[in-house]
Chain A
Amino acid sequence: MTILTQIVWLGGLFLEGVILVRAIQGKSFSKYSLFYVYIASVLVTSASLWVIYVYIAKPSLNIAVYWPTQYITLALGCGVIFEISRHVFAHRVTLDRLARWSMLAMFGLIFLLAAVHALLLPNWNVASDTADLERDLRVAQALVLMTIIFLTGYYRIEIGKNIRGMILGFGVYVGASVLSLTARLFIGPRFGTAWQIIQSSAYFAALAIWAFALWSYEPEPPSRPPSDPSGGYQTLADQTHQVLDSINDHLNRPAPR
Chain B
Amino acid sequence: MIQLAFSLVVGFALLIILYFFARGGKVSAEGSAQQLREARQTLDSLQFGLLPDDLVHRIFATDDLQYVRRAAPPQVQSLFLSERKDISLAWVRRIRGAIVDLMRFHRGHARLYAQLSLLMELLLALNFARLLMVCRFLEIALYLRGPYAAPGMVRTVAAAAGRVCTISEKSLVFLKTSQIDRLKNDPSHHGASV
Interface SS of chain B:
helix
Interface contact A256-B57, CB-CB below 8 Å: yes
Measured in the bound complex, the distance between the Cα atoms of B137 and A10 in whole Å is 57
Interface contact A145-B46, CB-CB below 8 Å: no
Count how many chain A residues have C-beta atoms less than 8 Å from C-beta atoms of the other chain. Answer: 66
Known pairs A135-B7, A241-B172; A93 contacts B154 (CB<8 A): no
Q: How many whole Å from B191's CB to the nearest CB in chain A?
A: 10
Interface SS of chain A:
helix
Contacting residues, chain A, for B62 (C-beta < 8 A): 257
Name the one of B30, B36, B159 contacting A236, with C-beta atoms under 8 angstroms: B36
Interface residues of B in 93-124 (CB under 8 A from A): 95, 98, 102, 105, 107-118
Interface contact A241-B57, CB-CB below 8 Å: no
Q: How many whole Å from B64's CB to the nearest CB in chain A?
A: 12
Contacting residues, chain A, for B32 (C-beta < 8 A): 156, 226
B contact residues vs A (CB 8 Å cutoff): 4, 6-8, 10-15, 17-18, 21-22, 24, 26-30, 32-33, 35-37, 40, 43-44, 46-47, 51, 54-57, 59-62, 95, 98, 102, 105, 107-118, 125, 151, 154-155, 158-159, 161-162, 165-166, 168-169, 172, 175-176, 178-179, 192-194
CB-based nearest A residue for B157: A251
Known pairs A158-B26, A244-B165, A256-B151; A175 contacts B14 (CB<8 A): yes
Total contacts A-B at CB 8 Å: 198
Would you give 8 A-B contacts (Cβ < 8 Å), ordered by A?
A: A94-B115, A175-B12, A179-B8, A221-B29, A233-B175, A246-B51, A255-B158, A257-B62
Q: How many whole Å from A75's CB to the nearest CB in chain B?
A: 21
Measured in the bound complex, the distance between the Cα atoms of B7 and A185 in whole Å is 11
Interface contact B14-A171, CB-CB below 8 Å: yes
Contacting residues, chain A, for B176 (C-beta < 8 A): 234, 237-238, 241
Contacting residues, chain B, for A153 (C-beta < 8 A): 21, 24
Known pairs A221-B29, A255-B154; A226 contacts B11 (CB<8 A): no
